[in-house]
Amino acid sequence: MISTVMKAIRKGAYKTVIVYSFSRFARSTTHLLSALEEFKDLDVQFISVSKSLDTGSAIGRALFIIISAISQLEWELISERVKNGLKNAKAKGVQLGRSKSRNSELIGVF
């Protein structure tokens, strides 16, 4: 969907992109900043409803960059905590995932 929107923007179909949250627009700060730079070159505004950010102003662009970086940091910290939690659970012998079926009748069906 993002690629379709970007193609339409490049063709001049839109002059404003409005999203609920910029974190839903792209998964990384790098991609967000790249898209924002392209929007700036094409004179396209990017507006986040949930953060009340409008990239049409210098302050809006600066806040956008800061919040994007913080959002990516938060995502990476959550990912690290989940990976560490799974590693610790595995080290303690906790079975991860669905338990294996021990029913020989069920196994025989397949």
Q: How many helices (H) and strands (E) does the chain have?
A: 4, 3
Q: What pLDDT is recorded for position 88?
A: 94
CATH numbers and ranges of domains, the chain: 2-90 (3.40.50.1390)
Regions of the chain with pLDDT less than 70: 1, 101-110
Q: In degrees, to the nearest 5, what angle opens at C-alpha 30 toward C-alphas 79 and 82?
A: 0
Token duo for residue 62: 């600066």
Q: What pLDDT is recorded for position 13?
A: 92
Q: What pLDDT is recorded for position 48?
A: 80
Q: What is the pTM of this model?
A: 0.52
Q: What pLDDT is recorded for position 1?
A: 63
Q: What pLDDT is recorded for position 80?
A: 96
Size of the chain in residues: 110
Q: What pLDDT is recorded for position 89?
A: 92
